Amino acid sequence: MILGQALLAILGILHAVAAYFYFSKERHAARWSTAWLVLTALALWQLPVRPLASALTFGAVIAAWTWWWGSIPALAARNWVPEDARQATATLAGAHLIVHNLRNFTWHAARDFVPCWEQRSYDLANLIAVDLFVCTWGDPRIAHLIVSFVFSDTVPLAFSIETRRETSEKWSILAGLMKAYELVMIAADERDVIRVRTNVRHERVRRYRVLSTPTMRQRMLIRYIEELNEVAAHPRFYNTLYRNCTTEVVRLLRETGLPVPLDWRLLVSGYVPEYLYQYRLIATDQPFAQVQPAADIGALARAADADPAFSRLIRGERGAT
């Protein structure tokens, strides 16, 4: 009986939490959460008296709610914040790649920017490298990953997988578990997606060169392009635990054939650089204690600021891009 009561209480509280975070955007959070808590309390009260009827009734409500919850669709059309207003798409014909709705905002402050959406062309034959940017703030165990494809004849093409927030929403880790946010896959210029983190939000950003062959690099980019179009055609929800900027990057890299073993550090993204080093996915010719501080691009990014050669300068290079 005690075990049954504990299980019932856990289920009721979990559904109350889910209801709160999902309905918060519609201002019905308190009502739905209260309803679940009242239902749970009644079931716990009646369970010792009418165990079978209470369990069946509560189970039926849980089943109906779970079915409805699973049927909630992610949507492409909402009142998005300006930086998430467009989902990028791309077309690929042979080695010629065209990216539509590429973001190239000029950021002056966190909420002060000049919007700019562009169409850009790339030649896969000129793809020469893949870089991984690891961005941390506050707790160093929490990081955001950005993958950038480097070309010999033009500026890099960066991809950032993020929550797609509405104008009324603020970020919450718990809400990210409860279908509160859609997912957006941003294709961007590094002067936008990297500079905003180094120079505007003042995050710590490190750059690591991913070890890859020409064939592997092209396969990685093609897989990213496929995913870009899939997200545009079939919107999906972001999830803090299993569909985020780290798990999605790992999935895409694994699907291209890159050896990415399962590891607890993939769930604690601040440790991803150490993981990459251990499995030789980045250069290991120096001790990791030297590799990590050398990867910090903060000073280079602040010095480059709005320079058109930003991407070259943060890599310690000189000259026009």
Q: What angle do CA 321, 88, 123 make, to 5 degrees?
A: 40
The verdict on 35 and 119 lying in the same domain is no
In the chain, the amino acid numbered 227 is E
Could you tell me if 74 and 237 are in contact, meaning their C-beta atoms sit under 8 angstroms apart?
Answer: yes
Work out the percent of the chain whose per-residue pLDDT is above 70: 81
Rounded to whole angstroms, how far apart are CA atoms 76 and 101?
15
User: Residue with structure tokens 């970020």?
Assistant: 171
Average pLDDT rounded to a whole number, residues 44-67: 68
The verdict on 52 and 95 lying in the same domain is no
Confidence band, pLDDT 50/70/90 cuts, at residue 258: confident
The pairing of beta strand 106-109 with beta strand 112-114: antiparallel
The verdict on 54 and 120 lying in the same domain is no
Out of 71, 106, 126, pick the residue that ends a domain. 71
User: Residue with structure tokens 């369990």?
Assistant: 55
pLDDT at 48 (0 to 100): 65
The verdict on 161 and 284 lying in the same domain is yes
The verdict on 86 and 66 lying in the same domain is no
- What is the residue-averaged pLDDT of the chain? 87
* Beta bridge pairs of residue 145: 134
Query: Domain range for residue 92?
Result: 82-313
pLDDT digits (tens, 9 = 90+) for 100-138: 999 999 999 999 999 999 999 999 999 999 999 999 998
Indicate the range of 16-30, 224-238, 250-264, 288-302 predicted with least confidence: 16-30
pLDDT digits (tens, 9 = 90+) for 158-204: 999 999 999 988 887 877 877 889 999 999 999 999 999 999 999 99
Rounded to whole angstroms, how far apart are CA atoms 178 and 175?
5
DSSP string, 94-113: TTEEEEEEEE--EEEETTEE
pLDDT at 14 (0 to 100): 64
The verdict on 108 and 257 lying in the same domain is yes
Average pLDDT rounded to a whole number, residues 39-59: 66
Please say if the pLDDT value at position 319 is more than 70: no
pLDDT digits (tens, 9 = 90+) for 269-309: 999 999 999 999 999 989 999 999 999 999 999 999 999 99
What residues contact residue 285 under an 8 Å CB cut-off, 6+ apart?
A: none
Out of 71, 96, 114, pick the residue that ends a domain. 71
